[in-house]
Structure 1
Amino acid sequence: MSEITYIRGDATVPSGGGVKVIAHVCNDIGGWGQGFVGAVSHRWPEPEAAYRAWYRDRAVNDFGLGAAQFVQVEPSLWVANMVGQRGIRRGGRGAPVRYEAIDMALERLAGKAADLGASVHMPRIGCGLAGGTWSRVEPLITERLVKQGIRVIVYDQGEGRP
């Protein structure tokens, strides 16, 4: 069985050929602008615009924890906006990350990646501003994507895998 590939670099500049999906975690309150989404918006306006419209029209669509939205930004490149974070503050109620929601969104991502014949590229989703831990997120990625034969590349800004 394959494993997650860890490389040093920028997930908004995915390596390799073929169709690719860049995956990241969003919150469930329509906020966009800090963390990895800033880098996404710097390269393409479409994922932010689509997320904001998805949130705005949430009464008539599937927006919510565990949902995933796929936005094509180049002929062979998509961005997956995955709702896996409740709110944005860490406060007294713990970190905003919701592992169950990330798991559900990854399942949706697996279906899309399989349909496209795509590899999946991401930072350590859910572990930045969402406050999650990689030891809880990595097994979800392995189960939902890697075990389904989907190639996954995780980009670290610093050194490779811990």
Structure 2
Amino acid sequence: MLPIQFIDGDATTPEADDNKIIAHVCNDIGAWGAGFVRTLSDRWPEPEREFRRWYHDRATSGFRLGAVQLAWVETELWVANMVGQHGIRTRAGIRTEAGTEPADSGPPVRYEALREALHTLAEQVSRLDASVHMPRIGCGMAGGTWDRVEPLVAEALGTRGIRTFAYDRV
């Protein structure tokens, strides 16, 4: 099993010489504009454009919790939009497509959906012979904790020998 390598830096500038996939967590209501996605959008328009198209066509596109979409952004570089968050956190609670749930209903992150997405990502990474680069996914706007996310990453990627890097912005 390969351990996760931790790097002080920016996940949008991956430090590797192979094919690279930048993985991050998206919500299931089509919202884009806060957290790590802002950094992505500052660098490339493709991840947001593809996410919005995927969400818009959700009746037929396979968009759902646990799904993954790869958006090609540069030579040897893709962004993995992983749907692992139910709704978004607001001051009033958790906003979902159905309305607002109470804030005490738990964080938006859905660990089982994230597990599924990471296993799907692992298959895509293997096909591309790539390494994975990410912030501490699911722990920002999604409200998750790294002690719950790290084992999911290790299970899906590390056990398959996939080089994985987690970045802490300095």
TM-score normalised by the chain length of structure 2:
0.91
Paired position in structure 1 for 2:124 = 112
Distance 1:58 1:128 in 2: 25
Range with greater deviation from structure 2 (17-26 or 84-93): 84-93
Q: Aligned ranges for residues 1-162 of structure 1 at < 5 Å?
A: 1-89=1-89, 90=94, 91-158=103-170
Equivalent AA in structure 2 for residue 60 of structure 1: T
Unaligned runs of 5+ in 1: none
Distance 1:127 1:74 in 2: 26
Deviation at residue 61 of structure 1 after TM alignment? 1.5
Distance 2:2 2:131 in 1: 13
Range with greater deviation from structure 2 (86-95 or 68-77): 86-95
In proportion to residue count, which structure has more strand?
2
Equivalent AA in structure 1 for residue 85 of structure 2: Q
Distance 1:29 1:60 in 2: 16
Distance 2:2 2:65 in 1: 28
Unaligned runs of 5+ in 2: 95-102
Aligned residue-pair number: 158
